[in-house]
Amino acid sequence: MFKGWRIVALVLGLAACDGIEIYGTYDQYTHLTTDPIEIVMPPNAPYISEQFGRAGELNDTPHEGIDIWAKLGTPVIAAAPGRVSASFYEPGHGNTVIVEHGRDTNGQKVRTVYKHLKTRTASKGETVVRGEQVGTMGATGALAMLVHLHFEVRRARTGNYYTPYDPMLFWVQGPGRVTCFEADKTYADMPFQITYPVPCR
């Protein structure tokens, strides 16, 4: 397995402007992670370069989602059906889209977040279906050293503070079983489950 996208990028001499395609593999959780999930990665799914990590597990710097590599301009797709609550640019994470998915079976509000997009193709207030394009892969924002998608799953029981959760917990096929989106397949709306936010080849 790869040992971190920053190191891989340095070794391979990758250009931040182009991105890279690697399939069927993933970086391990950091050795400081207290609750790593066993992962099954489809051979046709783009590479996950960094896993979720809570504060205190990554030198006190949380990584509140997963990072996925693909070529610049690759479609980024909705991981579940919902309504776009925000579509904006901000200096740190660049072009960002947030999709609200309603409440899960525990009564918690759920959202997915897509950061560092080159372009945003979904607008605030728009309804999206699973697999619908919300943007394209990019490297916008000061925190994007290379082309990648930073993808988050967040939940909130009350109010507007959404706690980040490891996306690996929510795949359609079960925790750790990364699930590619298939356009000809029917997916249940409940319980809340996600498919890969980047098309598999």
CATH architecture of 5-169: Distorted Sandwich (2.70)
Q: Is residue 201 helix, strand or coil?
A: coil
Structure-derived torsion over alpha carbons of residues 105, 133, 150, 47, reported in degrees to the nearest 10: 100
Domain locations in the chain? Answer: 5-169
> What are 30-69's pLDDT values in tens digits?
888 888 999 999 999 999 999 998 755 545 678 999 999 9
pTM of the model: 0.90
B/e letters for 167-189, b = 16+ CB within 10 Å, e = fewer, are bbebbbeeeeebbbbeeeeebee
Widest Cα–Cα separation across the chain = 46
> What are 134-148's pLDDT values in tens digits?
999 999 999 998 999
DSSP class of 19: B
